[in-house]
Amino acid sequence: MNLYVDIHVLQTVPPSCLNRDDTGSPKTALYGGTRRARVSSQAWKSVIRKEFRTMFSEELLGNRTKYVMDVLVKEIKKLLPDESETNLQKKAKQAFKQAGLELGNKKGKEGELDALFFISNAQARKLAELIVENKNDKKSYEDALKDNISIDIALFGRMVAKNTSLKCDAAAQVAHAISTHSVQNEYDYFTAVDDCFPEGGAKYLDTVEYNSATLYRYATINANELKNKLGEMTPTAIKGFLDAFIRTMPTGRQNSFANRTMPDMIYITIRKDQPINFAGAFEKAVVSQNNGYVLASEKALYEYCERMYRDYDMAPEYEFVSGTDIWSELEKCPLPDMLNKVEDIVKNELE
């Protein structure tokens, strides 16, 4: 049985630069023939993972790092507090070699990988236990990095080029957020005054590029895929992901713009056929008619959903909405109630 949890969000962001490209300009995309504001999925996933640290215990999470040896050394030291640092590093390096990860990158840096590796705190602890037990078989060490998957690894996946047996497919997919309407980036010309300069006046001047937009954001979670990795923790992990997805924002130039907002509308569906991204609702850019973009975007999304459900007979098994009156046929749920209901339904369906 398939089971997918889709989340669709409309969120208005005032003048801001949430996510910059290599020139410092807000990221954009050409969609439907017009320029749209864009926030990359990586930017949003990064702040979601940081938010997890306030929601879940350290034991349930991991670290994505090149310095996996340092992570393991800390765990070994808990079990062998009197061991020298040199010996701890040797043991850690040997353990990763047994597991199929050669430390030491192309630049010759000891204890550092060529690429980032996602390791859970539980995996690091298991490796440390194997070292203390003087285990020598490679399978035990490799299994330690295959099992003990953390919530963030299960949701966002792990890519390993040199030892593909250690890779982990992501159970969650996050789309790039795009504006429902056309945008044109603007420039803020600013100056900085030297407080200690007796004659006053600006001693620094520059420009910052920014835009403002009503964004369509989408993500989906494969609940069965997640259950294969997390078991009974799956409903809790899904609830945590949805909560973090809703509440977080990338932090680009946040001090300059104070642009933190909450979504204007949240629409969550639980499906048994396939996940559906409704960005097509905005292929024709929404046009403001003195009422802003939010209401027009809500109407466009509602009409597109209804058409898709009707034409393809793909109505979801369950659906919840918050923050809008457009979905008049659905009960409006405060966010905590909505998340609790989703958690309960996922738990019952998976059982």
- Percent of the chain whose pLDDT exceeds 70: 98
Same domain, 287 and 225: yes
DSSP state of 182: -
- The reply to whether 188 and 337 lie within a common domain is yes
Judge if 194 and 331 occupy the same domain.
yes
Question: Is residue 253 in some structural domain?
Answer: yes
Instruction: Name the residue range of residue 253's domain.
Output: 4-25+179-350
For residue 168, being part of any structural domain is answered with no
Specify whether 186 is located in the same domain as 322. yes
Q: In Å, how far from its chain's centre is CA 31?
A: 23
Q: Are residues 203 and 339 in the same domain?
A: yes
Q: Is the pLDDT of residue 132 over 90?
A: yes
Within a domain: 33: no
Across the range 70-84, mean pLDDT stands at 93
Position 156 confidence tier, pLDDT thresholds 50, 70, 90: very high
- Can you tell me the distance from the alpha carbon of 267 to that of 219, in angstroms, rounded to the nearest whole number? 11
Do 209 and 326 lie in one domain? The reply is yes
139 and 191 together in one domain: no
309 domain-assigned: yes
Q: Which of 149, 167, 189 is the last residue of a domain?
A: 149
Beta strands in the chain, from DSSP E residues, in sequence order: 4-16, 28-31, 34-39, 62-65, 117-120, 172-174, 177-179, 186-193, 202-222, 265-271, 318-322
Helices 234-247 & 223-230 angle (0-180, nearest 10): 120
Alpha-carbon gap, residue 94 to 65, rounded angstroms: 18
Q: Please provide the average confidence, as pLDDT, over all residues in the chain.
A: 93
Residue 301 lies in a domain: yes
State which of 100, 131, 149 marks the end of a domain.
149
Asked if 281 and 267 count as a contact pair (C-beta separation under 8 A), the reply is no
Q: Are residues 295 and 227 in the same domain?
A: yes
Per-residue pLDDT at 338 exceeds 90: yes
Same domain? For 340 and 192 the reply is yes
Instruction: Give me the number of domains the chain comprises.
Output: 2
| Cβ-based neighbours of 246, under 8 Å, separated by 6 or more | 7, 9, 262, 263, 266, 335
